Structure 1
Amino acid sequence: MNDTVLSLSRANLSLEGNAGPVDILHDISLDVRAGETLGLIGPSGSGKSSLLMLMGGLEQATSGTITALGQDLTAMNEDQLARFRRDNMGVVFQSFHLIPTMTALENVATPLELSGTVDAFERAEAELKAVGLAARVDHYPSQMSGGEQQRVALARASATRPRILLADEPTGNLDETNGAAIMDLLFGLRDRHGATLIMVTHANELVTRCDRVVRLRDGRIDTTRQSAEAAQ
């Protein structure tokens, strides 16, 4: 039985720069298994975040194919990709991306409402409770610390019970204590919902907890290693 949930075949990405096209990713071929935790590492500018964006359909491949849950992302338009992400993926960014005019509860409930979930606010409240923010449901982002905002972002990403969870430097803007707490919550959400977790990180503490680590260099896959071996 094929348990691959995400597959890239010779995927390339070029973006327009001031001086013309800039090649970002070159011939990326990679399969991600159901339930796997995959870490994407490498020096700054190596293409880690761009690869994550391709996987989530947030960037369109210039060539090659990307298949997620049996669906060809490279054949979808922007609206189709947005619906696919809404129904199947959760995304956590380094900079939180919360809506400042909405409370924590409203931020988490919004994707549920968009997907037509009847008990959107009840589910949102349960997710906030799961990340330790039961007392902050009515607070706005400006009234919360960075660690609390990232907890809201985690709750929002997991509220739809996604099959694929993408995280781009989820602890990058946090101090050591808050970063460690977010790491534990991220892996806890993965386990609770049985999601496949793919993350970009520089944090060795996160790398050592991954099942497999892919190192990028100059837009290409440099090495692929199992478990914590790549953290050395």
Structure 2
Amino acid sequence: MRMSPSPSEPALSLRQAALTLNGNAGPVNILHDLTFEVKHGESLALVGPSGSGKSSALMLMGGLERATGGSVIASGHDLAAMDEDALARFRRDRMGVVFQSFHLIPTMTALENVATPLELAGHRDAFARAAAELETVGLSGRADHYPAQMSGGEQQRVALARASAPRPEILLADEPTGNLDEANGAAIMDLLFGLRDRHGATLVLVTHAPELAARCDRVVRLRDGRVEDDATTEAAG
């Protein structure tokens, strides 16, 4: 049974988190001493120029990359203490992740894509919940379509439905509008914030768009793999 997080602890906590990867020319230092927290129910935008480490920081928060220094704590759990299987279960049960490139399973319909994580988590009503989530994102009429039969905006809606269907405590989104036109991008962001509000999830969003960052409660700006600025926005008021 999934334990509810303590309201006194942050949803995410990075303490001097670092990431060094091995490249062809030797070790490459990607992130340096990242230290910040994200409260439960808070929305935070990670911004900065290309190559500043935004996506890498998000990968650390989701346990998709392991910190090579410091610590990353999510919902009270030290991600470094988990093996790959435990991390996969943790993401399945507590996190929703949305990528720029959708990552849908091409041989599955929209309904099957959304239902799969629910089935893996043992929910007997997986397909009913998946159908309800597709309706929420306006795709009930596309449930039997495969990704190749859908537009980019529709595929991202399916990806959002898949991420939110398990009712995650934490939603991580990496440039979710990056492959979409302006109209579809705006619609996706409305849906993402709507899902956050409906489920009370913590949202961490990587974006280059100032107008999207302004919708979040806080903005953490990275530069050269370090925190350059951490400020609340007008949205927090």
Which TM-score applies when normalising by structure 1?
0.97
- 1:127 matches 2:133: yes
CA distance in 2, matches of 1:218, 1:11: 14
Three-state SS of the structure 2 residue aligned to 1:4 is: coil
CA distance in 2, matches of 1:203, 1:102: 32
CA distance in 2, matches of 1:207, 1:106: 32
Identity %: 74
RMSD of aligned C-alpha atoms?
1.0
1:52-88 per-residue CA deviation (whole Å, 9 max, x = no partner) reads: 0000000000011111111110111111100000000
Out of 75, 79, 97, which is 1:73 matched to?
79
* 1:10 alignment counterpart: 16
CA distance in 2, matches of 1:78, 1:199: 24
* 2:91 alignment counterpart: 85
CA distance in 1, matches of 2:14, 2:222: 15
Which segments of structure 1 move beyond 6 Å, counting only runs of 4 or more? none
Which TM-score applies when normalising by structure 2?
0.95
Contact 1:207 1:228 survives alignment (8 Å):
no
- 1:220 matches 2:226: yes
* Unmatched tracts of structure 2, length 5 or more: 1-6
* 1:139 alignment counterpart: 145
Q: CA deviation at 1:200?
A: 0.2
CA distance in 2, matches of 1:127, 1:11: 35
Contact 1:87 1:162 survives alignment (8 Å):
yes
1:166-205 per-residue CA deviation (whole Å, 9 max, x = no partner) reads: 0000100000000010010000000111000001001122
* Unmatched tracts of structure 1, length 5 or more: none
Three-state SS of the structure 1 residue aligned to 2:65 is: coil
Matched to 1:80, the amino acid is A
CA distance in 2, matches of 1:208, 1:8: 22
